[in-house]
Amino acid sequence: PLLRRIMTGLANRSSPLENLSMSHCEFEDHCVEGIFSFFKDKPEILPRKLTLVSHCIGHDDNRCSIMTRLLMCQACSLEDLTISELAPSDDEMVDIATALERNTTLKRLMIDLTNLKMRAYDRIRLLLCDTKNIIATYHSNHTLGVLGYKMRDSKISSYLKLNKKYSDKRLVAAAKIINVHFAHNFHLGNFDMMKSQVLALLVSYTNLGFRAWEEAVDEESKENGDEDEGDEDEGDEDEGD
């Protein structure tokens, strides 16, 4: 009955919910799948902020499949997704990252990254900044600004901060392109791979792009420095004891 009332209420809405939290609800797995499928069929009422707990998305090896299909939906309006107690495996994280390749709405994804290995981190880096060529970098994800608990990769953290800081995603794209393709060895042959609009963008945003990247790196360095100082303080206290 509760689930039916929720779905009926959503179906009768004329605009998306700002916030839907089911973090304290317990549904049968098939019921939860029905909820997600309902969102997928009715993208115009997808809540902008959605909070769940891990058991709400299932317990089997395919528990993240419904969520990834949701994120892949072109009409997905979800901006903030929290799934507490979800610590995805490498394979699950790879699927999530793949689903986010063309997603331009999700700004915040809160999951536990404790179990991730190098393969998953490599895939996240590829999502945020595909370094294969300039066009690939330009089409990377420039929207996701917050990702999970216990992030252990400084490069990913820099990309996330850059995404979060600038609402103008052309500026974010330019900053990544400049850092990856211009800050190191760059030869004129690379221009053959650039579309005219990307080249024009780079010309317009070169100075801003350099500044944006430097600011993101500076912020990351300051935060790392503060953490190191905190560790030293703890060490001093131990010596005093």
The span from the CA of 219 to the CA of 132, in Å, is: 26
pLDDT tens profile 94-114: 999 999 998 999 999 999 998
Ranges 78-92, 172-186, 192-206, most confident: 78-92
The span from the CA of 160 to the CA of 121, in Å, is: 13
**Are 93 and 63 spatial neighbours (Cβ–Cβ below 8 Å)?**
no
Q: What is the 3-state secondary structure (H, E, C) of 25-87?
A: CCCCHHHHHHHHHHHHHCHHHCCCEEEEEHHHHCCCCCCCHHHHHHHHCCCCCCCEEEEECCC
The first and second tokens of residue 94, run together, are: 């790879």
Lowest-pLDDT range, 12-26, 77-91, 148-162? 12-26
The pLDDT, as a whole number, for residue 60 is 61
Confidence class for position 240, pLDDT limits 50, 70, 90: very low
Segment 167-175 shows an average pLDDT of: 86
Rounded (5°) CA angle 147-85-99:
45
pTM here? 0.74
